[in-house]
Structures are given as C-alpha cells and as structure tokens.
Amino acid sequence: MIKLEGVSKTYPSGANAALQDITLEIEKGEFVFLVGSSGSGKSTLLRLMLKEERPTTGTIFVAGKDLNRLPSWKLPALRRGIGTVFQDFRLLPNKTVEQNIAFALEVIGRPRSHVKKVVPEVIELVGLEGKEKRYPDELAGGEQQRVAVARAFVNRPPLLLADEPTGNLDPTTSVGIMKLLDRINRTGTTVVMATHDSNIVDQMRKRVIQLHHGEMVRDQARGVYGYLT
Amino acid sequence: MRLGFVAEEIRVGFRRNFTMTIAVIVTIAASLSLFGAGLMVREQVSTMKDYWYDKVQLSIFLCGDNSQVPSCSGGAVTPEQRRAIRQDLLDQAPLVDAVYYESKRDAYKRFVKQFENSAIVQNVSPDALPESFRVKLSDPSQYAVIQSQFAGRPGVEQVQDQRKLLDKFFKLLNGLQTVALGIALAMLLVTVLLVVNTMRVAAFSRRREIGIMRLVGASNWYVRLPFIAEAAVSAFLGASLSAGVLAAIKHFGIDQRLAPSYQFTNFIGWDAIWRIIPFVYAVGVGIAITSSALSLRRYLRV
C-alpha cells in the first residue's frame, strides 16, 4: 500500500531535517501507529504520503504510484483513494452533518442518487443517527470527529490517514473514535494514525513506528508506545 | 459534473462577496458601454462613408461669366468645351463610373431646396451658381488622375474632391472613436485587476472549503469552476447593463434626437447594434473568464 525508500525531508528554513532516511513498507489492510513527540516528523510523513509536500530525497509509493512521478493532474485521483482525519476536525461550520459528509462526494462529481444512498450508510457506521441535521457547533468534540471520519470514509478509500485524531478529545471519547477506526480497518482499509496518546497505542497492540527527531527509531509489530519519549 | 451543486456554490459565493460582485458588475458595465460606444462611432463613420462617398465624389465646376481663374480667361465655357470635357470623362471608363451634368438652373434648384428655410436664398440669383459635371469614380481614391487631367484646362474653373470636405468630419468622428476605445481599454484593464482581486478575496473567504476539496480529491476544475462561473455571471450581468445602455443611446440619442435634427445624413441602424451587442458580451465574459482563471492558477494550487 505504502512504500518509502530512503525518504528525507529538509525545510528551507529548518536547521534540522524533518525526516531522515526513512525506509518502510505498509501492507494493505494494516493498522499502523506513528508515534513520537511533537516535531518528530509524524505529520510531515503523512503530508508526504498525500503529496501535499515533496520529499527532498527518496521515493514514495502510494497505492502502487511513484508520487515523485505523479503529474499534478493525477493528484485528485490519488487523493480520492485516501481519507484524511485531523486533530481539528476541519468541518464546515455552515453545513450540517450530512451536508459536510455529502460535500466530499459532491465535489468529486458523484451523482445525487449515489450521495443520497451512501451518506446515511456512513452516518450509521459512525453512530450519528438522528444528528444528521445538526451543525458542527451543536455537537460534542467526539461527535464532530465522527463526522470527520465519516467524511473521510464515505468514498470508501483503501487508505485512511489520521493525524492525531484523538488529540482534542478526552480519554473516553478517544476510545470511541479508536473503536471506529478499528472497525474501518476491519473492512480492509489501511489505517495510518499519528498519535502521542500512549494509552491508545498500548491498548490497541498494533504495529508501531516510532520517530525521533526525524529518524525512525523503532518499527515493531504489535507494539506499545514505549519509553523513549 | 454536478451542475446543481456548482450553481449553489455560485449563489453562495455571490452572497458572501456581495459588494465586490457589485463593483465588478458596475465596472464591467461601464467599460463595456464605452467599448460598445466606440464601436458604434466606428459603425457610424462607415455608414456615413458609404452613404456620402456614394453621393458626392468629384465635381468639375465649369467657367462662368465672372470666373477669375486663368483657365477661364476665355470667358464662360463654350458648348464645344463642355462637350469635349464630357467626352474625355467618358473616355476614362472604367475609372469613371458615371457622369452627371448639372446646369446652372439645376444647381440653383438644389441650392434653394437645401436652404429653403434660410434668407440666403434671396441673395443668390439663378445665374450665380456654376454649372458642373458630377463624376462618380469606380475607385474614389484615384481622384488625382482626374484632377491632373482636368484642372487648369480651358473652360474648367475648379476640380473639387468633395470627399475632402467630409474627411474633416470623419476625422472628428475617428478621434471620438479613438478616445472612447482608449478609455474603454483603460477601464477594461481596471476590470481585469478588479476581477483578479475579487477572486483572491473569494478564494480566501472560502479557504476552508477549498482545503477540504483538495483533500478529498476534487479536480482542479471542480475547485475553480464556481469562481470562474461567478466572474462570468458578473460579467454577463455587466454586459447586459451595457447592452441596455447601448440600446438606450440608439433609441433616445440617435433615433429621437440626432436623426430628426440632422436629416441630411443617415445613422447606424439597429442591425449595427445587434452586431455590437454580442461582441460586447463576448469581450466582457471572455475577459472575466480569462482573468479569473489566471488569478486562480496562482491562488488555488493543488
């Protein structure tokens, strides 16, 4: 699903490299935690996978495509196959729950009939039945994040990238979101989640990739958060 | 492409950016009105040219009893001279298309008719106006050929290219047209800058939506089309206003004012207006689409 070969990223202004010589491979259907303290390069890694940024050196393959060679007009097609969830939810405040989710389908030109069919399905999947007409500011944080997950997953992407999805949530709510991501993973979707929530990582017992100052210091199947940070 | 969705985005964009949109519409309307007015003046010049060049061409005035020029030293033109001049003119075919003879009496009649409301008629006797040949050329610009051949010939008082009299007037109209088109050009430049700026503000005010569209893989056109369509719709509304202005100029200015007061000439008809208006629409909408597309390339990189 994802393959990185010798990937480094240096920002023009930064003295230290954001990522140094990362080589890793993520198989289809895996659930992977990216852990590390703030500034360790987790977000940069996710942004590289989305081709929001280009690596300084090295090659990245996502869904069999070499991102360095992907022409910009094919970028939308790549991103349609990747769902994204962020710490700050990124919902549109002037749209209701179902409108927020439908937006992701409308802007890629899905027909109305398709939108009408799949939006209720995904609302049910994330457990927000009865709240379709609510606006984001009428929802609790965990519910807003469920909307964001629903929007990321409504197009059934084979890959879901989550950047600290529980960062703004309390522990109980976080567990709910993790259960949701786990359920999505069980449908065959590859999930890569950046986090520094040690409880969650320890409970889930999934593969853990740890970054420290831009270097990969650990890649462990069924790992725990660990002691380095 | 979901047209309903795009239409809704345009509507939201209009509401959100109301003042800027109004500014764009008004600027486009003003610049296109000037542009259209310039085109109307041009049409007017060409209609008048067609009309007048067809009527007045070259006049060869013949000597009368009191002519002062050297070629008239032999007194009034004799019938032989007159016949010879006519024959030589006819020999110049095909350059000479037609030759009309205007006698003193014909000239007087025309004069009386032209100035029927003026006191000047009482001061002119039927004898005072010269007889002449009116010559129609197949190519009016070849005037000099005839001029060199007949000027100074005994019995010919003067060879006059009447187009020269009109040319002054046409020059004035051409000047007006240049000024109108020049101002229109400056205004269109302002329009481009305004559209570019409006697009930047619009893109900024919708940056959340755009960010999400990019993330979920909306194609470039899906992201840009609402903006471009918004600019195109503004331009269309502006062009409609200017079409109204042009039609008003034609109806109130030309048909109701100029035409009754200046009956000696003709004015552009509605056919010219119908030719200009689609052009005005095309220029307005074209400029809006191009400038918005170009500015969005800068502000909406994927």
Q: Which residue of B has its CA nearest to A115?
A: B2
Which amino acid makes up residue A120?
Answer: P
Q: What is the pLDDT of residue B114?
A: 67
Residues whose CB falls within 8 Å of the CB of residue A161, separated by 6 or more in sequence, listed in order: A46, A49, A50, A82, A83, A84, A85, A192, A193
Best mutation target among A73, A86, A107, A153 (most B Cβ atoms within 10 Å) is A107
Q: Highest-confidence range of A58-72, B57-71, B131-145, B197-211, by mean pLDDT?
A: A58-72
Average pLDDT over residues B273-284: 94
- pLDDT tens-digit profile of A20-58? 999 999 999 999 999 988 888 899 999 999 999 999 999
- Compute chain B's Rg from CA coordinates: 30
User: Does residue A69 contact residue A147 with C-beta atoms inside 8 Å?
Assistant: no
**Among residues of chain B, what percentage have pLDDT more than 90?**
18
Q: In A157-209, which ranges are continuous DSSP H helix?
A: 171-186, 198-204
- Give strand pairing partners of A209: A34, A219
Nearest to B216 among A73, A107, A112 (CB): A107
Task: Indicate yes or no: CB of B214 within 8 angstroms of CB of A79.
Answer: yes
d(CA A37, CA B235): 52
Nearest to B217 among A92, A108, A111 (CB): A108
A201 or B162, which is more confident = A201
Q: Which of B32, B36, B48, B35 is nearest to B172 (CA)?
A: B48
- Cβ contacts (< 8 Å) between B5 and chain A: which residues? 106-107
Task: Collapse the DSSP code of B64 into the 3-class scheme (helix H, G, I; strand E, B; otherwise coil) and give the result.
Answer: coil
Backbone φ, ψ for residue A162 (5° rounding):
-125, 125
Alpha-carbon dihedral sign for residues A65, A23, A82, A13: negative
Name the minimum distance, in Å, from the CA of B51 to any CA of chain A. 57
Q: What is the pLDDT of residue B54?
A: 66
A29 or B162, which is more confident = A29
**Among residues of chain B, what percentage have pLDDT more than 70?**
94
Average pLDDT over residues B197-216: 87
In this predicted structure, which of A44-53, B60-69, B202-211 has the lowest mean pLDDT?
B60-69
Residue B127 pLDDT exceeds 70: yes
Task: Indicate yes or no: CB of A84 within 8 angstroms of CB of B215.
Answer: yes
Nearest to A79 among B5, B208, B217 (CB): B217
Q: Which residue of B has its CA nearest to A154?
A: B216
Q: Which residue of A has its CA nearest to B219?
A: A76
**Among residues of chain A, what percentage have pLDDT more than 90?**
74
- Residues of A at the B interface (Cβ-Cβ below 8 Å)? 50, 72-73, 75-82, 84, 90, 92, 103-104, 106-112, 151, 155
Nearest to A107 among B208, B222, B302 (CB): B222
Q: What is the pLDDT of residue A80?
A: 94
Best mutation target among B215, B219, B223, B300 (most A Cβ atoms within 10 Å) is B215
Residue A229 pLDDT exceeds 50: no
DSSP state of B39: H
Element (H, E) at A125: helix A112-125
For A15, the token pair is 């003295």
Query: Tokens 């070969």, residue?
Result: A5
Question: What is the interface pTM, i.e. ipTM, of the complex?
Answer: 0.87
Query: Tokens 């005005």, residue?
Result: B280
Task: Indicate yes or no: CB of B222 within 8 angstroms of CB of A111.
Answer: no
